[in-house]
Structure 1
Amino acid sequence: MNTQVFFRECRDILDIQYDRRERIIKLSRDITSQSKKMIFALHRVAQAKSYKDNTKKFSETEDRKKDIIILFKKLAEDIQGRDYYRYSRSFSGGIEEFIEALAFYHFLQTDEIITKPEVEGHFINEEGKAWLHITAEDYMCGLADLTGELMRYAIHLVSSGKYDKALHICRTLRKLDQDFDLIASTYLPQLNKKLNTLKQSIKKVEQACYTFQIRGSEYPADMYMTIIKNHQEQYEQEQGNY
């Protein structure tokens, strides 16, 4: 083969791969952005005072979810076969963010952690075949990110006087922490960098529940709510410094 022809073919292949990677990165960023907006919408639902408002706001969440699925279908066109693993680092962040949003949505509706098959159900066509592969790593990393949202939700519940639901979240976070400790040490070392955030979330929820249960009777209701809200704002500021 002529050397110039060979290098032209190599150049064309590399150009195709570069263009594909750029498309994948762009779609992943869009998925991440829309997933974050979906999470913000869910927090508004969680803080709504009436369930009539929740019904309306969940429709906004459903609309955002549909938009994200459309983006995933575009992404799926570029990550078929071996390309899935070739470009996985370029789009895994988007998948994890969407799983976090899905898991928070599921928890608000059921008070339970979403399972991997339930996540995969969003990527199955009418024939029952999966059009996008969800790895165990993506699923678990998405759940690890969920813990921060559950912490914020629990703090809101405590500040609203809904101690029992906040305590349920605290127990859920503890169970996730136990499971992730085992998985990180034996199967998925990359989870280790998320465990510190998880443990901080547990500590924040435990402190809020402690303040409510042990010290709540020491303060007037208005002062107690101020203490909890200041507690939450302090956490948000700490997170913003990272």
Structure 2
Amino acid sequence: MSEVVVPQLRSHNMGVKRDHQGREKMDSRVGNRADKDMPRNAYTSMFESFRSELDEHHDRRMKIGKVSRDVTALSKKIIFSLQRVHKLNQPFPAHIQSDVDDRLKEIAKLLMTIEGDVAGMNRHRYPLICLEEFVEAISFSHYLQHQKIITLTEAQAALPVNITLTPSDYVFGIFDLTGEMMRFATAVTALSGSMPGLDVKSSEGRTILNDMQEVSSVLQICPPLGGKPGTYSKKLGIMIEQVRKVERLGYGITVRGNERPKGWMPDMNEPTGGEGYQEDVIMD
């Protein structure tokens, strides 16, 4: 058994002060204590390795958090640009496509700086909330161009770095997509007087409301996937409410569309329950 060295008692004013990284601070009265002989034993090196490991972990977490916030901001800017589109199933205007491409290049540069930090087991050790925002942005872009929901495989292929998208990243991104679909449907309906996706001349076609209802039906029967407890149910409730808002919008256009003045914007905050409201009609 190795000899244990017991440090000598020090006076009250000679306590050791350390910074956030565990290094001893300089004291003008006694000089740098790190230069002096410090007591060591068989366990000292083990705890020093623990300290180094924790320092690396905290530095990595701060770096990933910074990149995640920047990628989130860029993904939101992509969505803001896409909301200026007014038609489905058509190529984007040149200025919007250029803006989206530039943002994606910036996202790629940022994610490349942490690609090695989230490899292997570390992929599940550090939260990458930005990937949900990224899926929301690229799925909205994909929907506007093709009127289809992007698959997990397609979303992974669109990610410009070798970072794995988890099922929860994908599903939570699709949850958020329904909110952008609701905003798009509201704006375009107010401008055109018809639901996006509907052929005005023939009154045929699959509308954005049909797509939202289908996505909602699938996600309601899908088992919860990862994330914090309660997050899935919360997003589910928000999505259902968003679908109901677009349903009321479609009802207003279909039943009373001719009475609406040009440029009319629906009240999306109209209550869905309470006195005088009945969601289902039961026929006797």
TM-score by length of 2: 0.70
Alpha-carbon offset, residue 137 of structure 1? 1.5
Contact 1:144 1:195 in 2 (8 A): yes
Q: Structure 1 residues 208 and 137 mapped into 2: Cα distance closer, same or farther (>3 Å)?
A: same
Alpha-carbon offset, residue 108 of structure 1? 1.0
Alpha-carbon offset, residue 227 of structure 1? 4.3
Q: Which runs of 4+ in 1 moved over 3 A?
A: 187-190
Question: What is the aligned partner in structure 1 of residue 173 from structure 2?
Answer: 142
Q: Say if 2:139 is the partner of 1:103.
A: yes
Query: 1:174-193 maps to which residues of 2 (within 5 A)?
Result: 174-184=213-223, 190-193=231-234
Contact 2:194 2:253 in 1 (8 A): no
What is the alpha-carbon root mean square deviation over aligned residues? 2.3
Q: How many angstroms apart in 2 are the aligned matches of 1:149 and 1:84?
A: 28
Contact 2:195 2:208 in 1 (8 A): no
Q: Say if 2:111 is the partner of 1:80.
A: no
SS in 1 for 2:113: helix
Q: Say if 2:235 is the partner of 1:194.
A: yes
Q: How many angstroms apart in 2 are the aligned matches of 1:53 and 1:138?
A: 26
Structure 2 letter corresponding to 1:140: V
Question: What is the aligned partner in structure 1 of residue 197 from structure 2?
Answer: 165
Alpha-carbon offset, residue 7 of structure 1? 1.5
Q: How many angstroms apart in 1 are the aligned matches of 2:48 and 2:97?
A: 53
Higher relative contact order (CA closer than 8 Å, sequence separation 6+): 1
Structure 2 letter corresponding to 1:195: L
The unaligned stretches of length 5 or more in structure 2 are 1-40, 199-205, 271-284
Question: What is the aligned partner in structure 1 of residue 264 from structure 2?
Answer: 226
Question: What is the aligned partner in structure 1 of residue 130 from structure 2?
Answer: 94
Q: How many angstroms apart in 2 are the aligned matches of 1:139 and 1:43?
A: 21
Query: 1:122-137 maps to which residues of 2 (within 5 A)?
Result: 122-123=158-159, 131-137=162-168
Q: Structure 1 residues 63 and 124 mapped into 2: Cα distance closer, same or farther (>3 Å)?
A: closer
Q: How many angstroms apart in 1 are the aligned matches of 2:158 and 2:243?
A: 29
Q: How many angstroms apart in 1 are the aligned matches of 2:79 and 2:86?
A: 12
Higher helix share: 1
Q: After superposition, give the CA deviation of every residue in 1:3-28 in whole Å (9 maximum; x if it has no partner).
A: 22221111111000000011011111
Q: How many angstroms apart in 2 are the aligned matches of 1:152 and 1:163?
A: 12
Q: After superposition, give the CA deviation of every residue in 1:212-240 in whole Å (9 maximum; x if it has no partner).
A: 11011234x33xx3342xx25x48xxxxx
Q: How many angstroms apart in 1 are the aligned matches of 2:243 and 2:117?
A: 39
SS in 2 for 1:162: coil
Structure 2 letter corresponding to 1:211: G
Q: Structure 1 residues 83 and 115 mapped into 2: Cα distance closer, same or farther (>3 Å)?
A: same
Highest CA radius of gyration, 1 or 2? 2
Question: What is the aligned partner in structure 1 of residue 248 from structure 2?
Answer: 207
Q: Structure 1 residues 86 and 227 mapped into 2: Cα distance closer, same or farther (>3 Å)?
A: closer
The percent identity for this pair of structures is 31
Alpha-carbon offset, residue 52 of structure 1? 9.3
Structure 2 letter corresponding to 1:76: E
SS in 1 for 2:264: helix
Contact 1:103 1:113 in 2 (8 A): yes
The unaligned stretches of length 5 or more in structure 1 are 126-130, 236-242
Structure 1 letter corresponding to 2:60: R
Q: Say if 2:100 is the partner of 1:61.
A: yes
Q: After superposition, give the CA deviation of every residue in 1:5-55 in whole Å (9 maximum; x if it has no partner).
A: 2211111110000000110111111111111111101112x149xx89822
Question: What is the aligned partner in structure 1 of residue 62 from structure 2?
Answer: 22
Q: Aligned residue pairs: how many?
A: 217
